[in-house]
Amino acid sequence: MQQVQQPKQARQEKAPINWTNMILFTVTPALAITLVPAYGWINGYDAYEWTVFVILMGFCGMSITAGYHRLWSHKTYQAHPAIRFIFALGGACALQNDVLNWASDHRRHHQFVDDNDNDPYSAGRGFWFSHIGWILRNYESAKNDFSNVKDLQRDPIVMWQSRHYLALVLLMNIGLPALLGYLHGDIIAGLLLGGLLRLVLSQHFTYFINSLAHIWGKRPYSDNSTARDNTLLALITYGEGYHNYHHTFQWDYRNGIRWWHFDPTKWLINTLSRLGLASGLKRCDPDKIERAKLDRQYQLATARCKKLAVTDDWHERLEQEYQSILQTVQLWAEHRQAWYEAKGKEWQERLSLLERQQLRAHYLEVKYKLKLQKKRWQTVLRMLTTPQPALA
């Protein structure tokens, strides 16, 4: 996708340095690189201390992904006050700003994605800027503006965290690791692993979503932004690596939509729902996902046809297959909706067993037809990757 050229002054902007952030993001990595291995060399770390490190990493990471991101920024589900309170504490432990600032920046990122003047961490300004550069200077694109988070200002837990953010940061980043270390007899090890190293790694793993996830990977759903799907990134970002899907369907509480997709944030939210601690989980309709994938594949195939200069017969075949599979997807969506409604209590009272069985049979028939048509569609797409003489 050709990106809109931004004004030259926006790309060359040299904003004032944010010295608080500059010192924080310079000193903490330096100390982590030197003090953590030095203490480990001299005294060593045991299983308890590494377990504390892993648990606090997950606590911080999931508080950002399940709390800051999918709950507060995108409102993909509702959570019990106790869960929101825990996420607020974990967010302070992650030290990535309070909920209001984080969610405001993120909503603006989605609204103006890749717009160098308005996206707070636009990937159009390069890896360094989108990863951490935008935090180190007071850029105009990242100015405080809470007009897009008025709903969050009505959340008492969000406002409580905002008022007491500094105290919570000190408590969660120094007090908690020190306490856990004290209980085991080694406060310094607790502070170094559970505090310092955990802080640096959890911050940069999150920032990879803003940087690498907009540079490295595939765009199977849309090319309207630089966001990409990357399974490897999902492994260290608690499922946030399926970023092209997220930018296409940002209201979905899932990022990895298949059961085999590594998305522990999705699993956590689903588990909370089963325990009665979360509700209103939003999911994108499967037919919309299928259409998005087909549209993208058709777009790429059309471009491939132009590049190979294939004959008009191939263009017509591609168009026919595309229109045919779209019609089947629509038919599948209608039968799927009818079948799921038939399974509902209200419909069961009005439909006989025979009628429900017929609806299910029709749904499965169309589902199988779609499966066969997908195979034929993929065959056509594969043939377009052959050399030009075979297509002429």
Q: What is the DSSP string of 129-182?
A: IIIIIHHHB--GGG---GGG-TTGGG-HHHHHHHHTHHHHHHIIIIIHHHHHHH
Place of tokens 């992650």: 94
Query: What are the E-state strand segments in 244-331?
Result: 278-279
Q: Which residue has the higher pLDDT, 320 or 213?
A: 213
Q: Distance of CA 373 to CAs 220, 331, 359, 369, Å?
A: 19, 13, 21, 6
Do residues 203 and 96 touch, judged by C-beta distance below 8 A?
yes
174: its two tokens: 């120094």
Helix (H, G, I), strand (E, B) or coil at 42: helix
Q: At CA 117, angle to CA 112 and CA 121, rounded to 5? A: 65
- Is the pTM value of this prediction over 0.75? yes
Q: In this predicted structure, what is the pLDDT of residue 76?
A: 97
Backbone angles phi, psi at 99, to 5 degrees: -60, -45
What is the rounded CA–CA span in Å between residue 331 and residue 235? 36
Do residues 364 and 357 touch, judged by C-beta distance below 8 A?
no
**In which band, very low, low, confident or very high, does the pLDDT at 336 lie, cut at 50, 70 and 90?**
confident
Q: Which residue has the higher pLDDT, 2 or 391?
A: 391
Instruction: Evaluate if residue 24 carries a pLDDT over 50.
Output: yes
Instruction: Evaluate if residue 236 carries a pLDDT over 60.
Output: yes
Do residues 198 and 181 touch, judged by C-beta distance below 8 A?
no
Do residues 208 and 228 touch, judged by C-beta distance below 8 A?
no
Do residues 275 and 264 touch, judged by C-beta distance below 8 A?
no
- In the chain, % of residues over pLDDT 90: 68
Q: In this predicted structure, what is the pLDDT of residue 3?
A: 43
Ordered by start, the domain boundaries in the chain are 8-279, 286-391
Helix (H, G, I), strand (E, B) or coil at 229: strand
Instruction: Evaluate if residue 211 carries a pLDDT over 90.
Output: yes
Strands 78-79 and 278-279: antiparallel
- Output the DSSP codes for 358-391: HHHHHHHHHHHHHHHHHHHHHHHHHHTTS-HHHH
Do residues 83 and 157 touch, judged by C-beta distance below 8 A?
no
Q: At CA 272, angle to CA 69 and CA 290, rounded to 5? A: 60
pLDDT digits (tens, 9 = 90+) for 153-194: 999 999 999 999 999 999 999 999 999 999 999 999 999 999
Residue 2 buriedness (CB in 10 A; 0-12 / 13-18 / 19+): exposed
> Among 106-110, 232-236, 265-269, 349-353, whose mean pLDDT is lowest?
349-353
Residue 221 buriedness (CB in 10 A; 0-12 / 13-18 / 19+): buried
Do residues 109 and 247 touch, judged by C-beta distance below 8 A?
no
Instruction: Evaluate if residue 342 carries a pLDDT over 70.
Output: no
With a CB cutoff of 8 Å and minimum separation 6, the contacts of 287 are 329, 330, 332, 333, 336
The Cβ of residue 169 has, within 10 Å, a number of other Cβ atoms equal to 17
Helix (H, G, I), strand (E, B) or coil at 209: helix
What is the rounded CA–CA span in Å between residue 51 and residue 325? 50
CA dihedral 113, 119, 121, 122 (to 10 degrees): 50
What is the rounded CA–CA span in Å between residue 169 and residue 177? 12
